[in-house]
Structure 1
Amino acid sequence: MGSTGSDVFTEIGFTNWKKGPENLRVHEGSVGSLHNKAVQQARELMAQKQHIETFVIKQTDETRINYRTLLSASLECTRWLLGQGLPFRGHDESLKSSNRGNYLELMQFLSKHNEQVRKVVFENAPKNLKYTFSDIQKDLVRACAIETVDAITKDMEGAFFSLLVDGARDSSTKEQMAVVLRYVNKKGEAIEKFLDVQHVSSTTSNSFEEAIERLFATTNLSMSKLRGQGYDGASNMKGELNGLKSKILNKYPQAFYIHCFAHQLQLALVFVAKENKDVANFFINASSLVNLIGSLCKRRDAFREKQQEQIHKALNLGNLETGKGLNQEMSLMRPCDTRWNSHYGTIVSIIVMFEAVVEVVEWIKSDRNQDNSVKQLGYSKTYKLLILHFTFS
């Protein structure tokens, strides 16, 4: 037992303490005994460079750095896409897809140009921490939205503000309420900031009021600082009894209501235009022309071809300037009653591309596949717009 140490402390035990020192020396054994080996291992374990805690800390620090690199890359992609107003998701985000969506493609681009990012994304990332799942993308967007709202409220710093609200349907036919704040900062500058878009179950004043209260409850803003309201003239917004204006005034009498000047001007222009038969007919003809050319893909393709021919012809004659961003492909704008500037855009687009418009309408008129009503419509609009073109030129 001299080489291995005594088993008196592990199995037999002893009661005679007079033989204690002797038993301890026997247990300690020679240089290669189990006891001495255990002592050496304990010393090595307690050494700082070889301590298990050192390895754990080193591994933890490396994991923390990789996590921050991955998170920073994901946030940079998120901020860039939000700043450009681009969608995140793709139609097919599988590995076999040639286009996995803006977010994943941007992450892939970033990894190709940054060695540190490449080591921690996609297949190099932990299986449970890739930051590619759709819910993670939404969480990143919400985090950016929270930070943006906090930055706006900090810039206000308790200043009085006005509230601008309008409702509209999105592409999925959901009712959305857009909220904009207007205030004066410490520099005396009038600032207008888009705050949020809230989904509402209906367009009633009660739904709008509840949505506004929910929004303000998540921010540092206080309705007691509200000094103005700006809405359109719809009954659910400016109604004297049950409108959103009246509901807020009942709680905050200092929040004066002002009918949105843009909507006032819009209503005035629409009313004047409808009362003037010539102007009304002009925009009816312009709208019919846009619908005539844009109703079929074949007609839109023909219009693009004619437009390109006209551009090349003008460039060869030196009638157009060349340069970056010039002579881009354009399309006819559709007029909209609620957006008066769209009517102006319709007129400008028709005048700029008038020759291509006339040629396409003449082509539609002469196309054998068109019925007589379309031919007659095309000829009528061509003639009328020729007169209007020379009038407005």
Structure 2
Amino acid sequence: MGQQVLKTIVKELKSAKYYSISVDSTPDLSHVDQLTFIVRYVKDGQSIERFLQFLPMDEHNAQYIADTILNFLESLDIPIKDCRGQSYDNASNMSGKYSDVQSRIKEVCEFAIYVPCAAHSLNLVGVQAVECVTEAVTFFQFVQKNFLGFNKTMENFDRAFRCE
């Protein structure tokens, strides 16, 4: 069923011709990093955003991620030359200036304009704002330490959410 949905989205995307991509990494429940691959395109004058797939992520370097993106698009027969936008988080391997993912994609498709992810940028603003308040820093450090402690093993993670 998932493959049929993917085929339908790809068909719709191809009929729109031009698209943009948004890629980010996220750990799954077993703490394995994956790339989330999202496309945006216009259909009947409406902006459409579709999740395509989680892609395995064995490395975090820019070349590996750019190759993964390009290979995925090629596997779906989606021409990279029709990409008009790309968006990633603000990590240097994704959004730097010279040897990052966005510049590598731009080398292949000069029209793929890079737009930093607004949500990640807003998060950075929030982090900077909170760092000015000692009590807030202490609170979020406490929350993070507790999360990391519970998260050490899946058993502890499960136990914490079952309230044992």
User: Which structure has more strand as a fraction of its residues?
Assistant: 2
Of 153, 156, 167 in structure 1, the residue corresponding to residue 10 of structure 2 is 153
1:189 aligns with 2:46: yes
* Maintained 8 Å contact 1:249/1:255: yes
Of 96, 102, 120 in structure 2, the residue corresponding to residue 239 of structure 1 is 96
Q: Summarize deviations over 1:58-86 as a string: whole Å, max 9, x none.
A: xxxxxxxxxxxxxxxxxxxxxxxxxxxxx
Q: Give the direction of change, closer, same or farther, for the CA distance of 1:168–1:282 in structure 2 (3 Å limit).
A: closer
Of 200, 215, 220 in structure 1, the residue corresponding to residue 77 of structure 2 is 220
1:202 aligns with 2:59: yes
CA distance in 2, matches of 1:165, 1:219: 16
* Maintained 8 Å contact 1:231/1:259: yes
What SS class does the counterpart of residue 259 from structure 1 fall into? coil
- The equivalent of 1:263 in structure 2 is 120
Matched residue type, 1:189? Q
* Maintained 8 Å contact 2:80/2:108: no
Indicate the structure (1 or 2) with the bigger Cα radius of gyration: 1
Q: Summarize deviations over 1:202-260 as a string: whole Å, max 9, x none.
A: 01111112211221122131111100010011111012111000101111111110110
CA distance in 2, matches of 1:244, 1:209: 5
Deviation at 1:163, TM superposition (A): 0.5
User: Which structure has more helix as a fraction of its residues?
Assistant: 1
CA distance in 1, matches of 2:35, 2:91: 14
CA distance in 2, matches of 1:246, 1:276: 37
Of 24, 35, 42 in structure 2, the residue corresponding to residue 177 of structure 1 is 35
Moved >2 Å (runs of 4+): 168-175, 278-285, 294-297
Of 146, 162, 167 in structure 1, the residue corresponding to residue 20 of structure 2 is 162
Matched residue type, 1:175? D
**1:342-357 alignment to 2 at 5 Å?**
none
Q: Summarize deviations over 1:276-335 as a string: whole Å, max 9, x none.
A: 2233344456x38x77xx8887xx45xxxxxxxxxxxxxxxxxxxxxxxxxxxxxxxxxx
Matched residue type, 1:250? E
Number of matched residues?
Answer: 151
Structure 2: where are the runs of 5+ without partners?
A: 151-155
Matched residue type, 1:280? V
Deviation at 1:145, TM superposition (A): 2.7
* Maintained 8 Å contact 1:158/1:225: no
**1:1-393 alignment to 2 at 5 Å?**
144-156=1-13, 157-185=15-43, 187-284=44-141, 287=143, 300=163
CA distance in 2, matches of 1:273, 1:248: 34
CA distance in 2, matches of 1:267, 1:181: 24
Higher relative contact order (CA 8 A, sep 6+): 2
CA distance in 2, matches of 1:246, 1:183: 21
What SS class does the counterpart of residue 209 from structure 1 fall into? helix
Deviation at 1:169, TM superposition (A): 2.9
Deviation at 1:200, TM superposition (A): 2.5
Percent identical = 26
